[in-house]
Amino acid sequence: MRLFKKYIQPYLKQYKWFVVATVLLGVLTILVSSMLTFTSGYLITRASEMPATILLLYVPIVGVRAFGISKAVTRYLERLFGHNTVLKILADMRVKLYNMLEPQALFIRSRFQTGDLLGTLADDIEHLQDAYIRTIFPTVTAIFIFVFSVVTFALFDWKFAIWIAICLGLVVFVYPLLSLYFLKKRQIELKEKRKYLYQSWTDTLFGLSDWIISGRTKSYVQKFMEQSRDSHQVEKKIAAWNHTRTFQLQVITGLILIFVGVWAGMAAGNGEIIPTYIAAFTLVIFPIMEGLMPVSEAVEKLPSYQESLQRIENIEIKPEVMKEKILIPQQPNISIQNISYRYTEDQAEAIKNMSLQIPYGSKVAILGKSGAGKSTLLQLLLGVLPPSEGKIEIGEHAPEQFGDQIYDVISVLNQKPYLFATTVGNNIRLGKSEATEEEIDRVIKQVKLDDYIFSLPKGINTQMEETGQRFSGGERQRIALARILLKNTPIVILDEPTVGLDPVTEGGLLKTVFAGLKGKTMIMITHHLMGMEQMDQIIFLDEGQIAMCGTHEELMADSQRYRELYLMDCGEL
């Protein structure tokens, strides 16, 4: 009920006139359909009596045509208003979901699995449209039809109206509650199994190459098929109950039809209604039941709506994630004091008792083989992961205290920065949305792309194509660097910025990087030793610990291992 009040009720109030119009059109559709059947039944009976003049049939004939056309029109308008209302509501919900996710951008990976978010974005939000179209609108419409039908019969025979109320009550109240009771666990179980399928699918998608290389493709496919079969079995059980319930409701419809037919015959015999109304009253049960039967299916979905709403609720930003705005330090020192981090209890520590001081304006290189702890250290510096022990301070604050402001302190140049299928200027302007063309021109010159960019026919308005494919790897890195220079954060982290570049391009890019980031704190995470002579500190990580630390000159003089690695990397050994 709390989630209903929070996520459903506000939209019903916001779009109340659309909702009212949809329900009224739904009621009108059933009433018009009922009048069509009623008039048709009357016309058939009246025609069988062979009236003296055809003029006596004109009115019901016109009525049948009018109600037939009106039924199609009202049904169309009901769908039009209903879907328009739901699309407006879903659009607002998507905006609300984005507003919940956007402040947590840095914390998404630590709080959720990708499959969870994919399930919410692709399944839960879409699923909630059924809450309106297949549950709220049909249920409210059915209650109106139920009351109208009972009242109408009461005008002719109040005792029979009570009996009809009991019979129709089985369809409107009893069967929906039975469906809810029998299918509650099944609906929740199905949602859980689909959630695991999303997680399994996304994990495999991201690690597809590893599955293929490891030769375990067959085992994955087998596991995924087993999960799919489990989900399918639950769906089959739900479908079996739906078929059974539909058959039972059709039997009840047949019994009600018989009851009404018998009553109409007796009423005609007693002179309470004319005989031509017997078929009319009997046949009108079909459209009435057509409007009442969807309630069972509507109510049985409540647990799945509850599950979807709960998952959306879980995404909402938590108090411990919400951060107050703090003053961005202009020249922050970085202090790392005895930090350790372990991903899970059964795994070894990724970072072990590490201490490091990085004064503002320093150039620091973090080296080490894969798994040495470089990526973990990066996430700790960004506040994505909190250290298990020890503390990190940027200025006077821990990284996680900055919240979404951390990117106003630290910029990151990844090994494969994403460039969008828009202009060069728009891609660079991501660093500062309000940047002028003069500012963009300035950073383009800083990254040494001015000769090339300004020689193009459209200059900075040149389209980059999807993922920036129009430009080479080195040019894409320079454009991403220009974006960072435009943002002008005091700290810049370079995460393997030269991977995949040839030595000449790598050397040119590093020269541009050192010139462009002069005066800022620069932390370069890399496997290569090119450019190490310009670093203030060179730190080698091994199994989460600092194995070597010093300047290029110190390590060349004191460490044979470093000397050999450097000469090998430069091609001199």
* Helices of type H across 270-301: 277-283, 285-292, 294-300
pLDDT band at 21 (very low <50, low <70, confident <90, very high): very high
B/e letters for 227-248, b = 16+ CB within 10 Å, e = fewer, are: beeebeebeeebeebeeebeee
Q: Is the pLDDT of residue 60 over 90?
A: no
pLDDT band at 107 (very low <50, low <70, confident <90, very high): very low
Q: Which residue has the higher pLDDT, 185 or 442?
A: 442
Q: Is the pLDDT of residue 90 over 50?
A: yes
3-state secondary structure of 553: helix
Q: Is the pLDDT of residue 213 over 60?
A: no
Q: What is the pLDDT of residues 342-393, one digit of tens each?
A: 877 777 788 888 888 889 988 888 888 777 888 888 888 888 788 888 888 8
Polymer length in residues for the chain: 573
Q: Is the dihedral of CA 95, 96, 102, 105 positive or negative?
A: negative
Q: Is the pLDDT of residue 209 over 60?
A: no
pLDDT score for 564: 81
Q: Are residues 247 and 345 in the same domain?
A: no
249 domain residue, yes or no: yes
Instruction: Identify whether the C-beta of residue 217 lies closer than 8 Å to the C-beta of residue 211.
Output: yes
Phi and psi, residue 543, nearest 5°:
55, 40
52 domain residue, yes or no: no
Question: To the nearest whole number, what is the mean pLDDT of the chain?
Answer: 80
Q: Which residue has the higher pLDDT, 195 or 147?
A: 147
Q: Is the pLDDT of residue 109 over 60?
A: no
484 domain residue, yes or no: yes
477 domain residue, yes or no: yes
Q: Is the pLDDT of residue 77 over 90?
A: yes
Pairing of strands 491-495, 410-413: parallel
Q: Is the pLDDT of residue 112 over 50?
A: no
Q: Which residue has the higher pLDDT, 247 or 568?
A: 247
Q: Are residues 306 and 388 in the same domain?
A: no
In percent, the amount of the chain with pLDDT more than 70 equals: 82
Q: Are residues 348 and 497 in the same domain?
A: yes
Q: Is the pLDDT of residue 322 over 60?
A: no
Q: Are residues 412 and 380 in the same domain?
A: yes
Q: Tokens 């025609």 identify what position? A: 47
Name the domain boundary from 262, 284, 315: 315
pLDDT score for 75: 92
Q: Are residues 310 and 339 in the same domain?
A: no
Closest CA to 536 of 523, 548, 517: 523
389-394 sheet: strands from edge to edge = 351-358, 334-341, 389-394
Q: Is the pTM of this model over 0.75?
A: no
Most distant pair of Cα atoms in the chain: their distance: 122
Instruction: Identify whether the C-beta of residue 141 lies closer than 8 Å to the C-beta of residue 26.
Output: yes
Instruction: Identify whether the C-beta of residue 339 lies closer than 8 Å to the C-beta of residue 354.
Output: yes
Give the burial class of 114: count Cβ atoms within 10 A of its Cβ; 0-12 exposed, 13-18 middle, 19 or more buried: middle
CATH number, domain with residue 435: 3.40.50.300
Q: Are residues 296 and 427 in the same domain?
A: no
pLDDT band at 212 (very low <50, low <70, confident <90, very high): low
Token digits of residue 357:
């001081």
Which of the residue ranges 31-40, 74-83, 364-373 would you say has the lowest mean pLDDT? 364-373
Token digits of residue 388:
């298990």
Determine the structural domain holding residue 469 and report its residue range.
Answer: 334-569
Q: Is the pLDDT of residue 118 over 60?
A: no
Name the domain boundary from 315, 345, 369: 315
Q: Are residues 294 and 230 in the same domain?
A: yes
568 sits in which H/E element? helix 560-569
Cβ neighbour number for residue 520 with a 10 Å cutoff: 19
510 domain residue, yes or no: yes
Instruction: Identify whether the C-beta of residue 350 lies closer than 8 Å to the C-beta of residue 376.
Output: yes
pLDDT band at 321 (very low <50, low <70, confident <90, very high): very low
Name the domain boundary from 315, 350, 384: 315
pLDDT score for 435: 80
Pairing of strands 334-341, 363-367: unpaired
Q: Is the pLDDT of residue 282 over 70?
A: yes
Average pLDDT of span 296-300 = 81
Which amino acid appears at position 444 of this protein? Answer: I
47 domain residue, yes or no: no
CATH number, domain with residue 257: 1.20.1560.10
Q: Are residues 285 and 355 in the same domain?
A: no
Phi and psi, residue 395, nearest 5°:
70, -120
pLDDT score for 195: 65
Cα–chain-centroid distance for residue 47? 59
275 domain residue, yes or no: yes
3-state secondary structure of 356: strand
Q: Are residues 309 and 371 in the same domain?
A: no
Average pLDDT of span 196-213 = 57
pLDDT band at 510 (very low <50, low <70, confident <90, very high): confident
Q: Give CA torsion, residues 133, 135, 140, 146, to 10 deg.
A: 120
Which amino acid appears at position 283 of this protein? Answer: L
Q: Are residues 506 and 387 in the same domain?
A: yes
pLDDT score for 24: 94
Average pLDDT of span 462-473 = 69
Closest CA to 441 of 429, 509, 433, 457: 429
SS3 content of the chain, % helix, strand, coil (to 5): 65, 10, 25
Token digits of residue 6:
């929070």
* Helices of type H across 405-453: 424-428, 437-446, 450-453
76 domain residue, yes or no: no
Q: Are residues 387 and 468 in the same domain?
A: yes
pLDDT band at 36 (very low <50, low <70, confident <90, very high): very high
For residue 337, the cross-strand partners are 391
Token digits of residue 258:
């018989």
Phi and psi, residue 337, nearest 5°:
-120, 105
Q: Are residues 218 and 102 in the same domain?
A: yes
Average pLDDT of span 106-110 = 47
Q: Give CA torsion, residues 285, 286, 292, 295, to 10 deg.
A: 150
Which amino acid appears at position 281 of this protein? Answer: F
Q: What is the pLDDT of residues 247-267, one digit of tens each?
A: 988 999 999 999 999 999 998
**Domains in the chain: how many in total?**
2
Is residue 271 left, alpha or beta, with left meaning phi > 0 and alpha meaning psi from -120 to 50?
Answer: left
pLDDT band at 114 (very low <50, low <70, confident <90, very high): very low
